[in-house]
Amino acid sequence: MSVAMDAPKDGFRLSQLIYDTRYRSYTIQFFVMLLFIAFLIWVLNNTVANLAAKDKDISFGFLWSRAGYDIDQQLIPYTNDSTHLRALFVGLLNSLAVAVIASAFATILGVTVGILRLSKNWLVARLMTVYVEVFRNVPLLLWIIVAFVILGETRPGPKEFKVTDEMVAAGQAPVGEMWLWDSVAVTNRGTNLPAPLLDRPLGGFEVMGVPINFSTIAVILVIVGSVMANRALLRRAKAVQESTGVRPVTWWKSLLILFAPTLALLVAMGFHLEYPVLKGFNFQGGINLAHSFTAMVIALTLYSATYVAEAVRAGILAISKGQTEAAYALGMRPSWTMNLIILPQALRVIIPPMISQYLNITKNTTLGIAVSYLDLRGTLGGITLNQTGRELECMLLMMMIYLSLSLMISAILNAYNHSVRLKER
């Protein structure tokens, strides 16, 4: 009885790297990588040679020298005697503040506008269409300048908020009036808000010149713990509903869990507000927001919300109308149908373009230089660069920082996108 044997396989030969389709792609990729590495080496050598010809070297020692300039808007303590490194951190925090606030407001406004564009009310839908088409077809830089000019030219000066004895006797009101029970003053110099203060703070320390506040960390941890405890409560309520058919009442428990621990901690630390007060020629106390910051937030919010609205509208239109009709057939209200049926499914279409929009908001904060907003571009890429003459080092640092921020934003939102996508079984 004969047994069929497999044909002997030939051993690996170098010619297979070129002629065998199983290995040819690896060969091409390897040579392309070698060419890319050679190009990078050539660029670096050429850069070093050109710098040496101009008696320049690559050094980041300037970061530890005295900055010598002031920054009006600052989230951490800073003076003109601080280092350029600390000025970098101040500018970075200013950029992040604008990006985070504008992203939050743009998301809220954009989702609302995107839903209203699909409204059956003809007037509402057309008004939202006009808003989207007007704001997204004008360059963002122009909106920033327009918002800055309006805030600076239409608001009264601090002296016009003063109430004199003659005005009281004549029954006249000052030209400028504070808002929200005399707690907010918007002048031609900026916006003055109440400042949160603690009588018994928990202290802190510094890491590379950046202060770490234990009070802030404690509040954040308590908020996160409250949210996690509330989610556990809702999961338990859902389990009880699935097993018994009766949904336990949880709204008052959720309110208690979410707010009571934070309020108790704030009371224990002696939380109170410091209100701005007119003294001399300007308001003293509280938080002063420069009009450049406010203009950036307003312009970025109104401009970016139009793209968010279009992404939301596209996501909703991607869901079959049968989903809405089935929800209506079950007696669900339109608001419940949108919040519980349509939007959760539309997220899979909405999130990818939203990631790009959040990245655009973060990078567009560099336009603040047009209204003298000292963010990362204005500090490291502006005054520091001009004072030290370290153009290459400043640009490299800015590129690495913005690249790192963009990669972190993409990673976080991609992880969320992965969590909401359809799971195959």
Mean pLDDT of 35-44: 92
Q: What mean pLDDT do residues 341-368 have?
A: 89
Q: Which residues pair with 271 in a beta bridge?
A: 198
Q: Is the pLDDT of residue 4 over 60?
A: no
Contact 275, 287 (CB under 8 A): no
The whole-angstrom separation of Cα 342 and Cα 357 is 22
pLDDT at position 28: 85
Contact (CB, 8 A) for 24 and 18: yes
- Cβ contact 135:303 at 8 Å: yes
Place 6 in a pLDDT band, splitting at 50, 70 and 90. Answer: low
The pLDDT assigned to 423 comes to: 62
Q: Is the dihedral of CA 358, 362, 366, 369 positive or negative?
A: positive
Confidence of residue 271 (pLDDT cuts 50, 70, 90): very high
Which pLDDT score, from 0 to 100, does residue 21 have?
A: 73
| 130-139 tens-digit pLDDT | 999 999 999 9
Centre a 10 Å sphere on the Cβ of residue 254 and count the other Cβ atoms it contains: 16
Tally of CB atoms within 10 A around 261: 16
**Predicted local distance difference test score (pLDDT) of residue 7:** 47
* pLDDT at residue 1 is higher than 50: no
- In the predicted structure, residue 3 carries a pLDDT above the cut 70: no
Tens-place pLDDT, residues 178-234: 888 888 989 988 899 999 999 998 888 777 666 788 898 999 999 999 999 999 999
| pLDDT, averaged across the chain | 87
Contact 422, 348 (CB under 8 A): yes
pLDDT tens, residue by residue, 385-423: 999 888 888 999 999 999 999 999 999 888 888 877 766
Domain ranges in the chain are: 64-194+275-420
| Whole-structure pTM value | 0.84
Residues near 235 by Cβ (< 8 Å), separated by ≥ 6? none
* 64-194+275-420 classified as CATH 1.10.1040.10: no
CB 73, CB 190: distance < 8 Å: no
